[in-house]
Amino acid sequence: MTVRGSVSFTNAWEQFDDQGRLSEPRRANSALAHTLVQLNWWAQTLRAGRERVPYERVRG
């Protein structure tokens, strides 16, 4: 399954300070939170589906 959200850093060399910290982390944190929500949704959905119809039954 795919997750549409992502965390990317356009012009990364401009986004981080000398210690490797994001200059403005709010945007990246928001994107990461959104991606984790999607990933969690897929994980729960796939787990429920596998419990209902085990993979072994689907394969044959």
pLDDT at 19: 94
One-letter amino acid for residue 59 of the chain:
R
What are the extents of the domains in the chain? 25-59
Q: Is the pLDDT of residue 58 over 70?
A: no
User: pTM of the predicted model, to two decimals?
Assistant: 0.67
pLDDT at 56: 72
The set of residues, in sequence order, having a beta carbon less than 8 Å from that of 16 and lying 6+ positions away, is 9, 22, 23
Other beta carbons within 10 angstroms of residue 28's beta carbon come to 14
Q: How far apart are CA 37 and CA 8, in angstroms?
A: 17
Kindly report, residue by residue over 2-56, the tens digit of the pLDDT: 777 788 888 888 999 999 999 989 988 998 999 999 999 999 999 999 888 877 7
pLDDT at 10: 85
